[in-house]
Amino acid sequence: MEELNIRKAHASDSEFVFTVKKAAYREYVEQVWGWDESYQRELHDRRFDSQDLRIIQFCGVDVGFLARSNTSDALKVNQFFILPEYQGSGIGSACMTRIIDGASLEGKPVLLQVLKVNTRGLAFYRRLGFTVISESATHFQMVRGVLSL
């Protein structure tokens, strides 16, 4: 997907990132914990300053974001959200394929977690070859690739 670009987030992207998360994720948070705007804003501010955030662009338009961390053992996707109006168009699959391919070149698995109530997200990750390796009361932990113990 040539029209896809992933760039490092800048401080000026903070409001866009919060808007994307709210649009793509709020319904799931509401089902599990309820949406507390001030708490979500505080969480966003903490994560925005501490995570390696990337803005996903399609045809020059900002359409989502991802946050990842790279350790010696694995690449972890901490956050991954696409605006609802761009979901289902292949952008998410193209982004995750780039992440998977990059991790594979380094011989690392990709780890992530998904809320159990997010059945659409769970199906998306399964289509990309992720498998559930554990679960908590609220989340499935998933992996793609071989996880060393």
Q: CATH code at 11?
A: 3.40.630.30
Q: Which domain holds residue 54?
A: 4-144
DSSP conformation letters of 47-81: HHHHSEEEEEEETTEEEEEEEEEE-SS-EEEEEEE
- The count of domains in the chain is 1
Tens of pLDDT, residue by residue over 21-42, are 999 999 999 999 999 999 999 9
Residue 27's pLDDT is what? 96
Structure tokens belonging to residue 145: 């690739």
Asked, for residue 55, whether it belongs to a domain, the answer is: yes
Report the predicted TM-score, pTM, of the whole model to 2 decimal places.
0.92
Does any domain span residue 127? yes
* Residue 149 belongs to a domain: no
Share of the chain above pLDDT 90, in %: 93
